[in-house]
Structure 1
Amino acid sequence: MDAVTRHLSEFGDGLLTTLQLTLLSLAGALVAGVVVAAMRVSPVAVLRAAGTAYVETLQNVPLLVWLVLAVFGLPEIGVMAGLFTTAVIVISLYQGAYMAEAVRSGINAVSVGQAEAARAIGLTFTQSLRHVILPQALRTVVQPLGNIAIMTIMNTALAAAVGVVELTATANRVNLAEAQPIWIFVTAGLVYMVLASGAGLVTGLLERRTAILR
């Protein structure tokens, strides 16, 4: 246990990086998810096809592969960015594919009559989606979005493989110095468990507050 207490400041820095990576990635994923979900329910065939291609491509290639391709491949074509920024963008886009499917399921759960009523009062597709359908859809998928948030917390650990010094990378560095893997990685695992439990608690509270009474 002394190996952990001697490196608390390093664990704190790693945890802070993990939190930043998680929150920024979730924000980006939510934006990407809403946009792609809108494309997938659009009346324009090209947009539907593009949305489907995005989801199928991102979901069927492991996140680690995308991270490695972005970190080592983008500089080859002249696109330069820091490791942290690259990780945020890649995780956002990857999780955005899952967000899109969750949001789309929420959109499909909204009564068809809502969309018909919106059209009847003269709203365009975009206006009805923004003002009528999406607000209801998002309230019905709080729990799935919370599960994706937990998934995002766990997936940030993969950023360690491309050089981002987050919690997992910090644990590995401390272990190299102290050679006490059980205490060090159990501690890191407990921190991830606390983060996931916190996300689940917040999700449960939001779900109860935003529940649609029928």
Structure 2
Amino acid sequence: MISQPHHITLKPSARARRITLRLDFSSGTLVLTHPPSTKCSSIEAFIKRHDPWIRKALASLPPPLDLTGGGMVLINGIETSIIHTPHAQNGCVLETPVLKVSGAAEHTERRVQRFLRELAARELPKLLEREAQNMRVTYTKLDVRNVRSRWGSCTRNGRIMLSWRLVMCPPLVQSYVAVHELAHLTYFDHSPAFWSHVDKFFSKGRSGRVAAELWLRQKGAVLLRVP
């Protein structure tokens, strides 16, 4: 039996040719992938050898957002204070930069999560449709899903997926992700032609795209940790 630290998840894989270690930002854990035949002693030695990297990686994780009363959540990129209003009876009420949440305190986090998902289900389809009309393209279906591995995706048959967590990002980032996925309806790759196409239709152009990508790299990880 391997006595690995609790923050490392072991993942045997028939496709693995060697031991690899990666940081899963969404769960805040390290995932060690290894061939099924790898000996326990080899895995333990690998973990010990990479202990400095492991400590540094875990230290780089941003703290998860506190979605309870007194905490803070991003809504459209705006830092929004969560205020618990126990005697109100209207669920979640957004009065930017405040989100008022009624009911018992122990249900606040769950209610905030539900509010965010419902907001995404209402607003993200409108966003995608606006961008699609501007780009003069037609997608077959939009799925707003609970995914942590990516912000969006597009299939060859025109089906687009957007992560509901996108509703926490600034409008600049939301629009960029939508344009990025819609551009794959014309270029199903990441060729120079694809990026030129994105820059042509993204309202902020190349500089805006760079700014949106930078925002996601710097602040996206903490949003992926929202349950």
Give the TM-score category using the shorter length: under 0.3
TM (norm. structure 2) is 0.23
Higher normalized strand content (fraction of residues): 2
TM (norm. structure 1) is 0.24
Higher normalized helix content (fraction of residues): 1
